[in-house]
């Protein structure tokens, strides 16, 4: 495996995050219900990055994956302010009533199965702990393929379901307490 680098980015990196996301979700285009990631524009990605942030995965300097995070809950703004002030540094802050929601996590097909996806989740988890979040949240697909086992292996548990395309649990809400 090459040298892995994960770095946090904001709206300025929208084009890179968009490109990495499209490469990561490319196989979803074959499914009956392709991921909505493939319908997002660079502008959509820029706006989403402004509501939280993103991570870019580079292997030997080449872009291979990405993910996004957003702050949710009553005290979401506290987490956002702490991120602005402390960046990636600092001791863990006191816990507040807010969570970090991970979305659009993806590794391009050729680079999968080498722990890169798990490493991005761990990177976001470490950030969430430092900022004082209660939990990590993620929405997993129940099919095309069923990703819930992957999130479960990362310590997430099912907390609810949302229907789409007439499939009651196609989006499964998952949570990991920090
Ligand atoms: C999910 C994803 C990010 C994982 O990335 P990755 O770099 O391959 O993940 P890791 O290498 O850290 O983990 C791979 C392990 O998970 C397992 N795994 C992969 N997909 C799985 C699934 N759907 N259910 C259960 N386990 C799964 C692999 O067998 C592998 O296990 P091993 O290490 O024992 O061989 C990647 O498959 C991906 O980009 N998928 C397309 C986009 C997507 O669906 N994103 C999730 C949004 S909910």
CA geometry: angle at 71 spanning 66 and 76, to 5°?
A: 165
Residue 170 has pLDDT above 90, yes or no: no
Pocket test for ligand 1, best of 150, 151, 171 (most atoms within 8 A of CB): 150
Residue identifier of the C-alpha nearest atom 39 of ligand 1: 106
List helix spans (H) across 25-75: 42-50
Q: For residue 86, what pLDDT is reported?
A: 86
Q: Answer whether 107 contacts ligand 1 (Cβ < 6 A).
A: yes
Can you give the residue ranges of every domain in the chain?
4-177
Q: For residue 155, what pLDDT is reported?
A: 98
Residue 52 CA to residue 9 CA, distance in Å, equals 10
Q: Coil, helix or strand for 83? A: helix
Q: Answer whether 150 contacts ligand 1 (Cβ < 6 A).
A: yes
Q: For residue 165, what pLDDT is reported?
A: 81
Q: Which CATH superfamily is domain 4-177 in?
A: Gcn5-related N-acetyltransferase (GNAT) (3.40.630.30)
Q: What is the mean pLDDT of residues 77-88?
A: 93
Residue 129 CA to residue 162 CA, distance in Å, equals 27
**Residue pointed to by tokens 């991921």:** 35
Mean model confidence pLDDT for the chain? 94
Q: Answer whether 172 contacts ligand 1 (Cβ < 6 A).
A: no
pLDDT digits (tens, 9 = 90+) for 12-50: 999 999 999 999 999 998 988 888 899 999 999 999 999
Residue identifier of the C-alpha nearest atom 9 of ligand 1: 117
Distance 114 CA to ligand 1 centre (A): 9
pLDDT digits (tens, 9 = 90+) for 107-149: 999 999 999 999 999 999 999 999 999 999 999 988 778 999 9
Q: For residue 116, what pLDDT is reported?
A: 98
């Amino acid at each position: 495996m090459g040298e892995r680098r994960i770095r946090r980015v904001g709206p300025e990196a929208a084009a890179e995050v968009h490109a990495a996301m499209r490469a990561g979700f490319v196989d979803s285009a074959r499914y009956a219900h392709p991921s909505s990631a493939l319908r997002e524009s660079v502008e959509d990605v820029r706006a989403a990055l402004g509501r939280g942030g993103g991570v870019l995965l580079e292997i030997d300097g080449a872009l291979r994956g990405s993910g996004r995070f957003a702050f949710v809950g009553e005290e979401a703004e506290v987490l956002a302010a702490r991120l602005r002030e402390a960046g990636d540094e600092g001791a863990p802050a006191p816990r507040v009533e807010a969570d970090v929601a991970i979305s659009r996590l993806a590794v391009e097909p050729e680079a999968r199965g080498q722990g890169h996806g798990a490493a991005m989740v761990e990177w976001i988890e470490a950030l969430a702990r430092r900022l004082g979040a209660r939990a990590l949240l993620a929405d997993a697909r129940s099919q095309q393929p069923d990703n819930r086992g992957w999130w479960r292996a990362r310590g997430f548990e099912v907390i609810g379901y949302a229907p789409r395309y007439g499939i009651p649990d196609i989006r499964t809400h998952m949570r990991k307490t920090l």
